[in-house]
Amino acid sequence: GQQLNQSPQSMFIQEGEDVSMNCTSSSIFNTWLWYKQEPGEGPVLLIALYKAGELTSNGRLTAQFGITRKDSFLNISASIPSDVGIYFCAGRLNTGNQFYFGTGTSLTVIP
Amino acid sequence: DTGVSQDPRHKITKRGQNVTFRCDPISEHNRLYWYRQTLGQGPEFLTYFQNEAQLEKSRLLSDRFSAERPKGSFSTLEIQRTEQGDSAMYLCASSLRSQGHEQFFGPGTRLTVL
Query: Nearest-CA neighbor of A46 among A92, A38, B47?
Result: A38
Chain A contacts of B6, Cβ < 8 Å? 42
pLDDT tier for residue B109 given thresholds of 50, 70 and 90: very high
What's the rounded Cα separation, in Å, for the pair A6 and A24? 7
What digits encode the pLDDT tens for the residues A59-110? 999 999 999 999 999 999 999 999 999 999 999 988 777 899 999 999 999 9
pLDDT computed for residue B28 by the predictor: 85
Average pLDDT in chain B: 93
Is the per-residue pLDDT at B1 higher than 60?
no
Q: Are B42 and A104 a contacting pair at CB < 8 A?
A: yes
> A111: cis peptide before it, omega within 30°?
no
Res. B79 pLDDT band, cuts 50 70 90: very high
pLDDT score at B98? 66
A102 touches chain B (CB under 8 A): yes
d(CA B78, CA B61): 11
- Inter-residue contact A68 to A84 (CB < 8 Å): no
Choose among B114, B112, B106, B113: nearest CA to B35: B106
The beta-carbon neighbor of A98 closest among B40, B45, B50 is B45
Interface of B with A in 19-58 (CB under 8 A): 31, 33, 35, 40-45, 48, 50, 55-56, 58
